[in-house]
Chains A and B, each alone.
Chain A
């Protein structure tokens, strides 16, 4: 199977390409990137006016399987990924059971083999049952292909245990992803602590609960010389702490999610539970700081923190509703709308955040369009406007913060390993 993509605007920062070229895909791999390729192909894709970029690598995805297949499963989650231009996901380990043992890694791998529609990489837990007490056998898990460890959803409270984990991770050269939250400080809160929480009469989550824990996590990682990645950064102080740490040369990377650079806690007015996630939507000032962090490179990665929940868990009293929102199908468009349109990032910058940098963080040889690479490619209509609506979402869960929103930029074609796996239906 040969695919020829003609005259697309290719954005591939790894190879410093940002121009109109053709790409030839053969036997699942990228075989040529050049002007005016003359070659026969089974499929020729006319890409004039379209952006051609490496498939997205979303390193923060809750696929929910095994255990909560009512919310999402690996089939539905990866289908949604492809629709969003995401060709690789890093599955978070907070499933039931948690991915905290070799057996559970193997269980997950067998499901992936059976039903995954995109590449699925595995993050294992740091501690057994993500309880923060006993470190998992990192070495054996790494040998089975685990790319990172994280207790996402929880922070390892005990510094001794976390430090031990960092040391082991360092020895094994595996990144540790930190969900940095001091639950004592977040104090049962449900939205950002501020005027909006006061007005709505909802318990607030202070920014301290996030940034103080980030400070601690970076300090411990630095002591152990481990590679640490801070998940879902939401506030100004966190950005500043990470910026400083990077300046000092500490091996820290950071990620944010589209809702943190596009929405603020004002969106919670009306008690919309699709605006409830952890960390919470913050203030305008924080949103601007996240954008600045993306612009100056403090924040390396954009990931969705795709967190599907059923209607039963969301369409209830705000305080009882689950934290989290889906994001695989909207993340690219939200980023185009908020970051490209407002000149926070150019296309090269966008591809770095979505593809190249996550590959680097996870030590994956992907995220680029180099010859010989597995052909994971997404073709984007940069100016296509569309409105997010429930009926169009293919994730099992519909808890999107962007329902009803008009976004700019839509995935036209997704190619995975040289096969066309998603094609937009022309309206």
Chain B
């Protein structure tokens, strides 16, 4: 299996083999971060531009660390959409970055499909670091990588994703990725936070967290964005915590080895209690560590993919 894409835009379009290739590449990169000199020359002389249209610290820093451990040069551009609205178009911005002879753009954008559009217009690689509500492939890949590390496999696992599924790119990417690798996925949330037709992506829908926890091997708890509040039917914080919050008490009824994940940043006391976040089942900080390996793998593969496409031309 060789990687032949110049971009990573989402998990929907990847095959099982491609996802497995990213995971196995990440496995070999993971060790780099535990070396005394945490660097390999894989992307030496390459330039990675982090183009972030939405505030993000952890994803941006993770990509930056990943690129640096591959010896790439990293440039960070953070910009507010409001100023972009008035000024340069996304395509123009992308073409300018390409003209600077950058090799990879890592982009976070608040509009769904923005990464696809950019990738269509550019010859250089585009890595989607989250587009609107659509996909956040590297987050899902690091979630899957962590699960596999903890539980030894993905096939046959029962994974429950709980939280605001409707507005979550993390949920969508996780569903695509997990289902392709043979896991069974349940999404759990109040009705208003379950988007229409999500079951057609292969996930089961539950509105009862205790039911959805019962036989789960792992729980991926999404961040609740109450600042999004979209009307009266949107749950209030305490109501949400009471009905869907993950507490130690709730976990009593679950599989005792259940893996608890969260993409961060955590709202303690809203989507999960502190004792769960810091408890023995939590792998939240391991996810952060694994994020570097996964992103190293992605940056490395898209760079190779672009070279392969280029050499075919």
Contacts and interface: CB of A to CB of B under 8 A. Distances in A.
A binds B: yes
Interface of A: 193-202, 204, 270-271, 312, 315-320
A400 to B, nearest CB: 18
A316 B111 CA distance: 10
A313 to B, nearest CB: 11
B180 interface: no
Contacts of A316: 89-91, 117
B112 A202 contact: yes
B169 A201 contact: yes
A195 B112 contact: no
A21 to B, nearest CB: 52
A201 B196 contact: no
Interface in B93-138: 109, 111-114, 116-117, 131-135
B34 interface: no
Contact of A201 (B85, B117, B132, B200): B132
Contacts of A270: 116
A208 to B, nearest CB: 12
A271 B113 contact: yes
Nearest to B131: A201
Contact of B195 (A198, A271, A312): A198
Interface in B159-201: 169, 172, 195-198, 200-201
Contacts of A319: 111-113, 132
A318 B131 CA distance: 12
A201 B133 contact: yes
Query: When A and B form their complex, which 4 residue pairs have the shortest distance between CB atoms, in order from nearest?
Result: A195-B197, A201-B134, A201-B133, A271-B113
* Most chain B CB inside 10 Å of its own CB: which residue of A193, A200, A201, A316: A201
Contacts of B134: 200-202
Contacts of B133: 201-202
Nearest to B118: A317
Contact of B196 (A195, A312, A315): A195
Given A202-B132, A202-B134, 11 more contacts: A194-B197, A195-B200, A198-B200, A200-B112, A200-B113, A201-B132, A201-B172, A202-B112, A271-B116, A271-B117, A312-B89
Nearest to B114: A317
B210 interface: no
A312 to B, nearest CB: 8
B232 to A, nearest CB: 13
Contacts of B198: 198
Interface of B: 12, 85, 89-91, 109, 111-114, 116-117, 131-135, 169, 172, 195-198, 200-201
A201 B116 contact: no
Nearest to B201: A199
Given A315-B91, A316-B90, A320-B111, A204 B132 contact: no
A72 to B, nearest CB: 22
A319 B131 CA distance: 12
A315 B109 CA distance: 16
Nearest to B230: A187
A143 B116 CA distance: 52
A76 to B, nearest CB: 25
Nearest to A188: B230
A202 B113 contact: yes
Contacts of A201: 112-113, 131-135, 169, 172
A185 to B, nearest CB: 12
A317 B113 contact: yes
A318 B90 CA distance: 12
Contacts of B91: 315-316
Nearest to B231: A187
A312 B112 CA distance: 18
A273 to B, nearest CB: 9
A199 B172 contact: yes
B90 A199 contact: no
Nearest to A204: B196
6 contacts: A193-B196, A195-B196, A198-B201, A316-B91, A317-B111, A320-B111
B92 to A, nearest CB: 10
A200 B176 CA distance: 12
